[in-house]
Chains A and B, each alone.
Chain A
Amino acid sequence: MGIRFVLFVNKQGQTRLAQYYEHLSIDERRALEGEIVRKCLARTDQQCSFVEHRNYKVVYRRYASLFFLVGVDNDENELAILEFIHLFVETMDRHFGNVCELDIMFHLEKVHFMLEEMVMNGCIVETSKQNILAPIQLMEKTS
């Protein structure tokens, strides 16, 4: 599988979204998130966006106070993952309008639904913002 996990972490290191595409126990997750977040948050803008960690490669990008981290297999295309992160942020931006950390906190499910539309089984299956947002708009209409 290409993508192993998607994490949103704020500057304080608090996890704001965690989606795993392989099963990890709570302890493993806690350790993994701690280590990765420590590694990525310590890096500066002049450094590249790829961090090797254990058997993963973590591709990350920072938007304002949020870090978007994606753990991928070693042979995954790093630049494509960066594009994916950007697409994800743009999609959220379109839905929430100037998306911020609080939007994600209070609408975590919606963000999960978007992610589910975009990524399945670690593969990117949908890249059209309109298609990604359609089910959520439908859901909002019915409820």
Chain B
Amino acid sequence: MHRSPMAPTPPAPVPAPSLVDTLFQRSLGDLVKFLRADPSAAGESTAVARALSEIHREIRAPDAATKATALQKLTYLSSLHFAPVASHPLAFPAIELIASPFLPHKRLAYLAASLSLHPASLSLLPLATHQLHKDLSPSTSAAASHNVSALALQLLASPAAAAAPDLAAHLAHDLLPHLSRGSPRAIAAAARVIAASPSAAVPILFKPLAACLASPDPRASTAAAAAFCELSAPPADAAPFLPLAPDLYNLLTTSRSNWALIKVLKVFGRLAPLESRLAARIVDPVCQLLARSAAMSLTFECIRTVLTALPAHDTAVCLAIGKAKEFLTAEDDPNLRYLGLLALGMLGPTYVSTVHECRDVIAQSLGDADSNIRREALHLMMGMIDRNNIMDIAGMLVSHAAKSDPEFANDILGAVLAACGHNVYELVSDFDWYVSLLTDMARSLHCAQGDEIGRQLVDVGLRVQDARPELVHSSRTLLIDPALLANHLLCPVLSAAAWVSGEYVNFTKDPVELVEALLQPRTSLLPMSVRAVYIQAVFKVITFCCNSYVERLSDSSKEVAVGLNGLSIDETVSEGRKAPLVSGDEQITVPSMMEKDPFSEKSIIHMIDLIETTVGPLFECNEVEVLERARNLIGFVHLIREVQELKESKVDDDEKHSWVKELVKNMQTVFSQEIGPVSLNAQEKVSLPVDIVLNETLAELDDIVSEDDTTPSSSILFYPRSHGSIENRNEPALSLGSSSLLSEHRKRHGLYYLPTGKTEDEPVDYPHANDPLLPASNESSLDDKSNTAQPVTGGKKLKAVKSRPKVVKLDGEDFLSSMVPSANVPKEDSLSGAVRGVLLDRDLKPSSSQKASDKAYEGIVNKMETGGSSSQWKNNVDAELVGHPTSSSRPSIQPSHEKESTNPLESDGKEVKEPKRHRRSSRGGHHQGKHKHRERHSTQPDVPQAPIIQDFLL
């Protein structure tokens, strides 16, 4: 589709002869050749430096031609080589040469000025004001003046002028004759001037500019459409442009320029949502364009307009969707495919089914060569997910991630994790499936989402009881795979898996295998923080096994007096199940036997031996977390071993036996308490000290802090914070002294603790996850879990389908979802605020929230509809304007919605604060409003046209 006009031709290095006047001065052509001579970066920069020093000399020459050439070269360098041109050297000669009577010089100077003037050089711009004024005023020789004024207009439309509102304001009147003859340049310049200094320029320029919309010259109307498209673009408010609707409508139905039509459609796209009758009116012409136009750009613009601005008109939307689908299937043109996806993304929730229809195409686009198309397809896919299809889509996406390049694979995984985890797994109903999906994701080739996967694994474990068996099962597959240990990206996942396996060890089928997996040699590859979790998990497993062993023992000991002999115990235990395979063999490592019964003495001895050989060396470890856990574990194991030795030496002692039972039971108790999610609002339970003003000094940090706060982690942070929490659980048993210290601490710093009385009163707002003050003897066994966990949901039980397991959700967690969007409240552009303020004759300050002001405009529009005559409407507006005091901090605009209330202000309680003003406005209503209007002396541009829109719309 591209032709290539760039066939190599000999260069045309002929510089303009008039510029080579000065002897020895290098022309621009020479300079370009000189720069090209040494293409290396260093060579180029020295060449630029040399040229610049020449230019600085030449530009001070009295001779205009020399100066012009120097300026020309300087422009070239600053434009293409980032030459560090200080504002002065370029700006001043440029302005000097603007006054030149010689057109080429003037042209050069204007080019230099429009390319490179910037705020730093604005102090010079007033010098040019007079010259611009002169160039803009019509002179005798028509042709020449045309060119000259074109140049001046060009400068006015450049960014330099936008930064100099004074200049724009001074020259606004000079634009008028050019506007009246419909010069497109004047129209563009007027748009720039209005944008730069709305208060001064709108009264002068708005009306002539609006008149250009109706100009018979297509160039003028096209330029005017573009100008209004630009002026009404967000963040500016489009409402003041509603009165232009009739002219725009004319243009829409009669113009044959696609450029103009596109711009008009854009403006209507902004106006239609403000005024439903307008939407109804433009549907037909837009549909006709959509059906007939051969130009893809116009077709796409129509689609966009229909989908974003006319979603209520079904036939139009259907037509647009049909066209969008055509785009989607354009095999040979990635541009159209991309735009087709974009169009589908614009569809609102009402047309979700349409997006579903295109699922195959979208899924296919996931594998497109273009990353933009893939990303857009992924976006659409995520938008499609709901409770019914989440398993299909997420499964498909995860399997697709395996085939994608690393970056996109992680985009996919991240999106799936975010969608599934959204609002506490709102969409997930089958947690067994989700847990296995999480492990699949972790095993996915390029997975770099370990942190989030690990977090969710633990979180699901904490919140969803029913998912725990599957969770433990999935964790096992992760833990026993030695290949995963070397992948540092998976550490958080392994850490989570180890924690889950330890915490919910009662669901493990084979604890011995688990201990072996947790202590396999390659765990030395793990970072220390993860090893600590592994060791703690081993601790839990061995405690659990010992406990089971002891319990079983005490059951059977009713028959066999005291089974201190290891073998006899083994036999008694296995009696109930099967005959022991190896009876007399004293060997410790007999896997086949242990598979049969993990709670036999032999298994336990095997585990203890394994622990001693592998954890023992960690006493040398210089990482305290690991060291501490290793010591705890070894200490416990030694205690058990002691008993073992006692047994072996046949010291027949009931006490010893009951002592070890006691020990194991106590340990088990320590670990058996339920850990639940911790509410993010826990902090809020801390009452605020009276004398502290928290907002005072930290308010400035809001921006920085809010970014971090949006991370949706609400459960216990597992890594590496969790060490603390797990440790705490040991405290009551291992060091009772610490709890007394803690209570002292509480006494002294009571302020910073949760009020104890309160937590007792309202039974459990959230589970006492790590409360060390609970007595160690609290025998909350696994059966009690439900009691501790269930009340958590409080009144907020999920209305989920029966099949969906209970998901623990804390009261405060709703605010998570509400918090995130509130963080991105769009900031209003101050410029547009000013434009609107002037256009609507209101002093809205930029800080007022966009939403609120939008509502206010809707209110105005509503009034406009109801108002019978234009004057009445005007009065309404005026009342409104007075009604909204300049203090923009007042967010309430409610009264303006009530169409009937002629004096809406008194219904608002807040108004009491400024009683004088309002009373005036309410009593003297219309007169006062008009007076105010005149006082401010701005805007009428749209007000007089109000009747037009009335006629048009009604």
Which one of B184-192, B501-509, B758-766 contacts A? Answer: B184-192
Residues of A contacting B12 in the complex (Cβ-Cβ under 8 angstroms): 96, 102-103, 106-107
| CB proximity of A123 to chain B, nearest CB, Å | 4
Q: Is B29 in the interface zone, CB < 8 Å from A?
A: yes
Are A77 and B262 touching (Cβ within 8 A)? yes
Are B189 and A17 touching (Cβ within 8 A)? no
Residues of A contacting B258 in the complex (Cβ-Cβ under 8 angstroms): 80
Whether A123 touches B370, Cβ cut-off 8 Å, given contacts A106-B13, A112-B111, is no
Q: Is B76 in the interface zone, CB < 8 Å from A?
A: yes
Contact with B along A56-69 (1 / 0, CB 8 A): 00000111111000
Task: Give the CA-CA distance A73 to B339 in the complex, in Å.
Answer: 15
Q: Is B163 in the interface zone, CB < 8 Å from A?
A: yes
Task: Give the CA-CA distance A27 to B176 in the complex, in Å.
Answer: 38
Are A79 and B9 touching (Cβ within 8 A)? no
Q: Is B5 in the interface zone, CB < 8 Å from A?
A: yes
Whether A99 touches B219, Cβ cut-off 8 Å, given contacts A26-B84, A79-B297, is no
Task: Give the CA-CA distance A142 to B104 in the complex, in Å.
Answer: 9
Are A2 and B229 touching (Cβ within 8 A)? yes
User: Closest residue of chain B to A128, judged by CB?
Assistant: B219
Out of A30, A48, A121, which one reaches B230, CB within 8 Å? Answer: A121
Are B372 and A100 touching (Cβ within 8 A)? no
Residues of B contacting A49 in the complex (Cβ-Cβ under 8 angstroms): 334-335
Contact with B along A39-75 (1 / 0, CB 8 A): 0000110111111100000000111111000000101
Task: Give the CA-CA distance A108 to B17 in the complex, in Å.
Answer: 16
Residues of A contacting B233 in the complex (Cβ-Cβ under 8 angstroms): 1, 73, 75
Q: Is B300 in the interface zone, CB < 8 Å from A?
A: yes
Residues of B contacting A143 in the complex (Cβ-Cβ under 8 angstroms): 16-18, 104
Whether A123 touches B191, Cβ cut-off 8 Å, given contacts A22-B159, A23-B162, A48-B334, is yes
Task: Give the CA-CA distance A44 to B370 in the complex, in Å.
Answer: 8
Residues of B contacting A63 in the complex (Cβ-Cβ under 8 angstroms): 2, 4-6
Are B103 and A139 touching (Cβ within 8 A)? yes
Are A46 and B29 touching (Cβ within 8 A)? no
Out of A105, A107, A125, which one reaches B187, CB within 8 Å? Answer: A125
Residues of B contacting A89 in the complex (Cβ-Cβ under 8 angstroms): 5
| CB proximity of A29 to chain B, nearest CB, Å | 7
Are B5 and A98 touching (Cβ within 8 A)? yes
Task: Give the CA-CA distance A135 to B7 in the complex, in Å.
Answer: 26
Task: Give the CA-CA distance A45 to B249 in the complex, in Å.
Answer: 39
Dominant secondary structure at the B interface: helix
Are A109 and B369 touching (Cβ within 8 A)? no
Are A116 and B184 touching (Cβ within 8 A)? no
Q: Which of B115-164 contact A (CB under 8 A)?
A: 115, 118-119, 143, 147, 150, 153-154, 157-160, 162-163
How many inter-chain contacts with C-beta < 8 Å in the A-B complex? 191
Q: Is B259 in the interface zone, CB < 8 Å from A?
A: yes
Task: Give the CA-CA distance A77 to B373 in the complex, in Å.
Answer: 17
Task: Give the CA-CA distance A44 to B373 in the complex, in Å.
Answer: 13
Contact with A along B156-176 (1 / 0, CB 8 A): 011110110000000000000
Task: Give the CA-CA distance A139 to B110 in the complex, in Å.
Answer: 15
Task: Give the CA-CA distance A75 to B15 in the complex, in Å.
Answer: 41
Contact with B along A88-99 (1 / 0, CB 8 A): 011011001111
Are A142 and B103 touching (Cβ within 8 A)? yes
Out of A79, A108, A139, which one reaches B104, CB within 8 Å? Answer: A139
Are B339 and A138 touching (Cβ within 8 A)? no
Residues of B contacting A22 in the complex (Cβ-Cβ under 8 angstroms): 159, 162
Are B373 and A48 touching (Cβ within 8 A)? yes
User: Closest residue of chain A to B17, judged by CB?
Assistant: A143
Task: Give the CA-CA distance A102 to B587 in the complex, in Å.
Answer: 87
Q: Which of B211-247 contact A (CB under 8 A)?
A: 219, 222-223, 226-227, 229-230, 233
Residues of A contacting B2 in the complex (Cβ-Cβ under 8 angstroms): 61-63
User: Closest residue of chain B to A83, judged by CB?
Assistant: B297
| CB proximity of A30 to chain B, nearest CB, Å | 5
User: Closest residue of chain A to B372, judged by CB?
Assistant: A48
Are B157 and A109 touching (Cβ within 8 A)? no
Whether A15 touches B16, Cβ cut-off 8 Å, given contacts A47-B334, A47-B372, A79-B335, is no
User: Closest residue of chain B to A140, judged by CB?
Assistant: B16
Q: Is B371 in the interface zone, CB < 8 Å from A?
A: yes
Task: Give the CA-CA distance A66 to B4 in the complex, in Å.
Answer: 10
Q: Which of A112-132 contact B (CB under 8 A)?
A: 112-113, 116, 120-127
Residues of A contacting B5 in the complex (Cβ-Cβ under 8 angstroms): 63-64, 89-90, 92-93, 98-99
Whether A138 touches B6, Cβ cut-off 8 Å, given contacts A17-B80, A23-B118, A79-B339, is no
Whether A125 touches B226, Cβ cut-off 8 Å, given contacts A23-B162, A50-B335, A61-B2, is yes
User: Closest residue of chain A to B338, judged by CB?
Assistant: A48
Contact with A along B8-49 (1 / 0, CB 8 A): 110111011110000000001100100010000000000000
Q: Which of B55-104 contact A (CB under 8 A)?
A: 72, 75-76, 79-80, 82, 84, 103-104
Residues of A contacting B226 in the complex (Cβ-Cβ under 8 angstroms): 2, 123-125
Residues of B contacting A30 in the complex (Cβ-Cβ under 8 angstroms): 82
Residues of A contacting B32 in the complex (Cβ-Cβ under 8 angstroms): 105-106
| CB proximity of B952 to chain A, nearest CB, Å | 26
Task: Give the CA-CA distance A96 to B103 in the complex, in Å.
Answer: 22
Q: Is A101 in the interface zone, CB < 8 Å from B?
A: yes
User: Closest residue of chain B to A21, judged by CB?
Assistant: B159
Task: Give the CA-CA distance A79 to B335 in the complex, in Å.
Answer: 8
Whether A139 touches B300, Cβ cut-off 8 Å, given contacts A21-B159, A48-B373, is no
Out of B4, B17, B119, B373, which one reaches A23, CB within 8 Å? Answer: B119
Are B185 and A48 touching (Cβ within 8 A)? no
User: Closest residue of chain A to B183, judged by CB?
Assistant: A125
Are A122 and B335 touching (Cβ within 8 A)? no
Are B259 and A99 touching (Cβ within 8 A)? no
Whether A120 touches B300, Cβ cut-off 8 Å, given contacts A52-B372, A66-B6, is no
Q: Is B806 in the interface zone, CB < 8 Å from A?
A: no
Task: Give the CA-CA distance A127 to B226 in the complex, in Å.
Answer: 13
Are B8 and A100 touching (Cβ within 8 A)? yes
| CB proximity of B40 to chain A, nearest CB, Å | 12
| CB proximity of B579 to chain A, nearest CB, Å | 69
Q: Which of B193-207 contact A (CB under 8 A)?
A: none
Q: Which of B330-358 contact A (CB under 8 A)?
A: 334-335, 337-339
Residues of A contacting B11 in the complex (Cβ-Cβ under 8 angstroms): 102-103, 106
Are B184 and A48 touching (Cβ within 8 A)? no
User: Closest residue of chain B to A93, judged by CB?
Assistant: B5
Are A16 and B80 touching (Cβ within 8 A)? yes
Out of B9, B147, B262, B335, which one reaches A48, CB within 8 Å? Answer: B335
Task: Give the CA-CA distance A17 to B337 in the complex, in Å.
Answer: 30
Q: Is B108 in the interface zone, CB < 8 Å from A?
A: yes
Most buried by B among A17, A49, A107, A120: A120
Task: Give the CA-CA distance A73 to B335 in the complex, in Å.
Answer: 17
Out of B7, B28, B159, B184, which one reaches A98, CB within 8 Å? Answer: B7
Residues of A contacting B72 in the complex (Cβ-Cβ under 8 angstroms): 109
Out of A47, A82, A125, which one reaches B369, CB within 8 Å? Answer: A47
Q: Is B597 in the interface zone, CB < 8 Å from A?
A: no
Task: Give the CA-CA distance A6 to B754 in the complex, in Å.
Answer: 61
Task: Give the CA-CA distance A50 to B370 in the complex, in Å.
Answer: 10
Q: Which of B853-869 contact A (CB under 8 A)?
A: none
Q: Is B884 in the interface zone, CB < 8 Å from A?
A: no
Instruction: Please name 12 pairs of A and B residues whose Cβ atoms are closer than 8 Å in the assembled complex, sorted by A.
Output: A26-B84, A46-B370, A65-B6, A79-B300, A90-B5, A103-B12, A106-B12, A109-B111, A121-B158, A123-B229, A125-B188, A142-B103
Given contacts A108-B28, A139-B107, could you give 19 more A-B pairs where the C-beta distance is less than 8 Å? A23-B160, A30-B82, A46-B370, A47-B370, A48-B372, A61-B2, A79-B295, A99-B6, A102-B9, A103-B12, A106-B15, A108-B80, A109-B72, A121-B192, A123-B227, A125-B219, A126-B219, A142-B103, A143-B18
Q: Which 6 A-B pairs have the closest CB atoms?
A: A64-B6, A79-B297, A120-B188, A123-B226, A47-B370, A48-B334
A residues near B, CB below 8 A? 1-2, 15-23, 25-26, 29-30, 43-44, 46-52, 61-66, 73, 75, 77-80, 82-83, 89-90, 92-93, 96-103, 105-109, 112-113, 116, 120-127, 135, 138-139, 142-143
